[in-house]
């Protein structure tokens, strides 16, 4: 059996591109996915095979943190305030993306931008267009995905000395089966 993985390439709009990867590995036949469920999903993109996780793999996953007018990059830790603020959008975003892949032909990848406002208890995942997006498949697929919003208990971010925080976590989501 071969193993599948969903790969997110972190892309930052602040000062160029970063190349770390965030992945949610999947292994057919694991305890929580039986063989019949895996067989039914073979034609789906790997992004739809298992729940998404904010799990760093092979690189320095960084989140753009905006505090008022100050912008900085910080490493993403699974137990951090940033991860807790970004996490609520993962399941709804995955549901929307996978729903769209079942309804139409998907491009090889799309970019999603997760933006969390911890003081407001709100996080969104928005499909975003980059220059290298498939010109025929990309625009209708991005329109299908649109913006997904989720909420959580507001929690002030202690890392800002000025203004309220926003966390921006852009990712590249591979959609090929």
Q: CB 156: neighbour CB atoms within 10 A?
A: 11
pLDDT over threshold 90, residue 91: yes
pLDDT over threshold 90, residue 101: yes
pTM across the whole model: 0.74
Average pLDDT over residues 2-28: 34
**Distance (Å, whole) CA 47 – CA 177:** 8
Q: If you average pLDDT over every residue of the chain, what do you get?
A: 76
Express each pLDDT in 139-176 by its tens digit.
Answer: 999 999 999 999 999 998 988 888 899 999 988 888 88
* Domain map (residue ranges) of the chain: 4-174
């Amino acid at each position: 059996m071969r193993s599948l993985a969903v790969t997110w390439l972190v892309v930052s709009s602040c000062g160029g591109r970063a190349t770390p990867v965030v992945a949610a590995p999947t292994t057919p036949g694991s305890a929580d996915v039986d063989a019949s469920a895996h067989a039914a999903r073979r034609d789906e993109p790997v992004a739809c095979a298992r729940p998404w996780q904010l799990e760093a793999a092979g690189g320095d996953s960084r989140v753009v943190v905006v505090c008022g007018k100050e912008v900085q990059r910080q490493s993403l830790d699974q137990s951090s305030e940033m991860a807790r603020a970004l996490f609520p959008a993962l399941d709804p975003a995955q549901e929307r993306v996978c729903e769209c892949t079942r309804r139409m032909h998907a491009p090889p990848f799309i970019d999603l931008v997760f933006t969390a406002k911890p003081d407001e208890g709100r996080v969104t995942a928005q499909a975003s267009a980059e220059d290298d997006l498939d010109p025929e498949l990309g625009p209708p697929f991005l329109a299908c995905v649109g913006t997904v919003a989720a909420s959580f208990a507001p929690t002030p971010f202690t890392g800002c000395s000025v203004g309220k925080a926003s966390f921006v976590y852009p990712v590249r989501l591979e959609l090929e089966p």
